[in-house]
Structure formats: C-alpha cells, structure tokens
C-alpha cells in the first residue's frame, strides 16, 4: 500500500520552532502542513507524538513557522532527521536565533517567511496530532522564492514553472 505522503504530494515544507517551559528552543521539519484561513490567518500541521516538538507544544502552546527556500534544503534535512532531545540543531546547523515579538520560541535569521503563532487546537488523529495555530505576527523578507516541496522520505521537488490559468 502506498504511503499517504506518496498519494498527496508535493507538500511545502516548513520548519516549526518551539521551546520547552525552561525556554530551551528546538526546530524541526514538517510537510504535513497547510494554510487554513485568510483573515485572520490560521495555519495547521500534523505532528507525531514521538517528536520533541510535540512535547514542547504541550508545554508552551506557541510556535514559529518558518518557510525555507530551496537553498536551505540541507537545513530542512538536518532539522528533520535529528531530534532536539539529542542535539542542539541551531548550533549544529549554524542557525542564528533572534527574539520573536509575541511568542516565546525564537525566530531564525535568513528564512524568507516566518509566522509567530499561538496554538488554538490540538487533537489526535491516527498516529499524528493536528495542530492549528493562529498567526499573531508576520515576518516576510521575500515572497518570490522557490520553496522546498516534499514527496516522501528523502525525495523532494522544486517548482520548475509558474503557470497562469
Ligand atoms: C521533509 C520532512 C518532512 C517531515 N514532515 C513531518 C511532519 O509533517 N510531521 C512529523 O511529525 N514529522 C515530520 N518529519 C519528521 C521530523 O522532522 C523529525 O522526526 C525530527 O527529527 C523531529 O525533531 P524533534 O524531535 O526535534 O521535534 C519530517 C521530516 C522531513 C525530513
């Protein structure tokens, strides 16, 4: 049977930055990710309860969603293959943090899009939890960038053409 990630693809990858109750930050990769509402802006992603990110979201119901560009594929992979329980992904991958405006988890320099979000809903569905966050603050430095699109496991796409209907 095909995996759901091989049936519904490609999916934009995002990095979710969280922190624990002591303020220790973490960053991890997510491609079960989507926008939900225009105004106010809401986003959703799905997290396995095995992730450190899940634990952090339970402790501190806030996150930053960062959308990486194609040049950042190595960060996408690095943040998605190691757990914050074992390593400090920020220093390991050379990601520089700065204070967010409204939430406890930090922003990370050099991402074109970063959204400060507050968790408003979290519920178990199968082997993941759906997390819905309300966007409280936007940091957008660039919008004409190429996102990293995920297929499954270690296979990605990049957009090759923009078409208008
Ligand atoms: C491209 C990519 C997409 C991923 N998407 C998800 C996802 O949507 N949900 C999820 O729970 N894990 C996803 N993962 C796995 C987590 O990123 C990975 O388990 C990570 O090590 C978790 O880190 P943490 O324990 O520090 O939270 C993805 C990994 C990669 C490489």
The domains of the chain are located at: 4-157
Instruction: For residue range 55-82, list pLDDT tens digits in order.
Output: 999 999 999 999 999 999 999 999 999 9
32 ligand 1 Cβ < 6 A: yes
Does residue 160 have a pLDDT over 90? no
CA of 48 to the centre of ligand 1 (A): 8
Exposure of 17 by Cβ count < 10 A (0-12 exposed, 13-18 middle, 19+ buried)?
A: buried
pLDDT of residue 72: 97
CA of 165 to the centre of ligand 1 (A): 34
Instruction: For residue range 7-65, list pLDDT tens digits in order.
Output: 999 999 999 999 999 999 999 999 999 999 999 999 999 999 999 999 999 999 999 99
CATH number of 4-157: 2.30.110.10
- Cα–Cα distances (Å) from 93 to 45, 89, 96, 142, in that order, read 23, 6, 9, 22
Report the pLDDT averaged over residues 76-104: 98
User: Which of 31, 49, 152 to probe ligand 1 with, by most ligand atoms within 8 A of CB?
Assistant: 31
CA of 51 to the centre of ligand 1 (A): 7
CA of 46 to the centre of ligand 1 (A): 10
pLDDT of residue 17: 99
Asked if 11 and 150 touch (Cβ cutoff 8 Å), the reply is yes
53 ligand 1 Cβ < 6 A: yes
């Amino acid at each position: 049977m095909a995996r759901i990630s091989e049936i519904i693809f490609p999916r934009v990858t995002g990095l979710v930055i969280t922190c624990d109750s002591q303020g220790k930050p973490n960053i991890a990769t997510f491609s079960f990710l989507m926008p939900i509402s225009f105004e106010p802006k809401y986003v959703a992603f799905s997290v396995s309860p095995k992730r450190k990110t899940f634990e952090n979201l339970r402790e501190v119901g806030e996150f930053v969603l960062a959308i990486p560009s194609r040049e950042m594929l190595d960060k996408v992979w690095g943040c998605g293959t190691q757990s914050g329980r074992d390593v400090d992904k920020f220093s390991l991958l050379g990601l520089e943090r700065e204070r967010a405006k409204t939430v406890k988890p930090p922003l990370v320099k050099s991402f074109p899009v970063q959204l400060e979000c507050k968790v408003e809903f979290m519920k178990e569905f199968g082997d993941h939890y759906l997390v819905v966050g309300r966007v409280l603050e936007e940091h957008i430095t660039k919008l004409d960038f190429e996102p990293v699109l995920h297929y499954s496991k270690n296979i990605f796409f990049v957009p090759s053409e923009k078409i208008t209907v």
